[in-house]
Amino acid sequence: MDVTDEVRCAYILPKKGRRCKMLVKKGKKYCGEHEVHDDGNEHRIYCPNDPKHTVCETRLAEHLKKCNARTPNDPWVGIGLNSSTITSDSNIYLYFYGCRNRKFRFERRQPIAFEICTTSFTATFASDTEVSPDFLIERIHLTYSSIIDKLYNWIGCGTDVCNELVGSSITSFNKIRQKQLLQHFAIIGCAMRAGLITNENELCIVDFGSGKAELPYWISKKFEKCRFLLLDNKGENPGICMERVRCSIEHFDMSKIKTVKEAKRVVGISKHLCGQATDWSINCIQNSLNNNVNIIGFALTPCCHHKSTYAEYVGKAFLSSVGFVAEQHFQLLKYIASWAVCGFSSDPSRKAVDQNKLTEVQSKNTLKKMENLTNEEKQVLGRKAKVLLEFGRAKHIQEFGYDVKLCQYVDLEISPENLLIIGKKKPF
């Protein structure tokens, strides 16, 4: 073996498919960052704030004080305020329950839960109850048929916004950038159609999970007088003058923000909130209403249903009413929903990978029996499952006194995650 191979980290980077190039100490197999994967490791652990990086156990207390993923100590931070499972001691729970046991895998910034920390996804389906694939498919089709008339087609609402803000110059961008812009303009157009956005200083627009703040940026190009509050779990340096707070959605208390207090009307927006972040945003809206924040409406575009958790999902009442009464049903439903966006391939090697994944997550024989479905049938079924999951969220938020619509806001060719939950205080 080459000497250089002996002094390099043995960890294989999953996304790059190659070994880590960091040097290792004499007698070690892994570098400091990947030492947590060494079977003989006893002192390197995952960071409780963000399991994407590791820390020496003896330096944990010092690291937590300066970790970039730590929860900020600000007035608007209420630990677990918008979550059904996170408590004030969740980090301690994460440390003792997960970080000291390397067999568990983690989702970033999620509390430890049985369904996301098992060595095999099949452990989630520990129930002895067998779910009939025929029942599951029939129930999805029947439920979808009963609500299809309540799925609105608002595709095209962003055309005028696009023409006004960029015009024909949109063709100068590459295809990926064009799709991103068209989604921004479509969300703005839908919000305008619902009467949520007006060009006035008394309106505050809160962007959940803002990131690079592109959606607020384009809104500000058309509505210059509006105030903006950008919420994200990390800091950015936007080129426009907007207030940004660093806080994860599950801990955010909107009523403690000065900009929100001074605004007479508040609108919540988002573009592609992953998994349970959408549920946290809905809970944030509900908690803010209880604290006398005048939220006149919202426009939320969810995505990544496979990252949703049953404990946090707010639409359980609707699912139960249509026959999906158990957590097992929810796990199967969100897995099937991934078929709408997974991009089935005719490549035999890709099909083998898909089959291995299918076997890994099957609930006994339920999903295995569904493997005979064609790719087209799976995509249709996955699409319907997505609509069911979002309709459940829409029904839940109606209880707060809003008229809520579930809309398709762009074509599937632009984004397969093309559902928008939009609501306004009655009447719509």
CB-CB neighbours of 238 under 10 Å: 16
State the pLDDT at residue 367: 57
CB-CB neighbours of 233 under 10 Å: 21
Q: Does position 129 have pLDDT exceeding 90, yes or no?
A: no
CB neighbour list of residue 360: distance below 8 Å, 6 or more residues apart: 120, 121, 122
Question: Token pair of 362, please?
Answer: 């099957």
Render pLDDT for 377-411 as a digit per residue (tens, 0 to 9).
899 999 999 999 999 999 999 999 999 999 999 99
State the pLDDT at residue 210: 85
Confidence band, pLDDT 50/70/90 cuts, at residue 94: very low
Render pLDDT for 33-55 as a digit per residue (tens, 0 to 9).
888 888 777 688 888 888 888 88
Q: Is the dihedral of CA 262, 266, 272, 277 positive or negative?
A: positive
pTM: predicted TM-score of the whole model, two decimal places: 0.77
Question: Token pair of 380, please?
Answer: 């249709």
Q: What is the CA radius of gyration of the chain?
A: 23
Q: Which of 108, 110, 118 is nearest to 93 (CA)?
A: 110
Question: Token pair of 394, please?
Answer: 């829409």
Helix, strand, coil abundance in the chain, percent, nearest 5 = 45, 15, 40
In Å, what is the CA distance from 277 to each residue of 248, 295, 307, 349? 9, 18, 9, 34
**What whole-number distance in Å separates Cα of residue 63 and Cα of residue 111?**
20
Cβ atoms of 332 and 367 within 8 Å: the answer is: yes
- Beta strands (DSSP E) in 88-213 are 151-153, 203-208
CATH superfamily of 138-309+373-425: Vaccinia Virus protein VP39 (3.40.50.150)
Domain-wise residue ranges, the chain: 1-38, 138-309+373-425
Do you find a cis peptide bond into 72, omega within 30 degrees of 0? Answer: no
**What percent of the chain is predicted at pLDDT more than 90?**
52
8-27 exposure pattern, b = at least 16 Cβ within 10 A, e = fewer: bbbbeeeeeeeebeeebeee
Render pLDDT for 216-258 as a digit per residue (tens, 0 to 9).
999 999 999 999 999 876 555 444 557 888 888 998 999 999 9
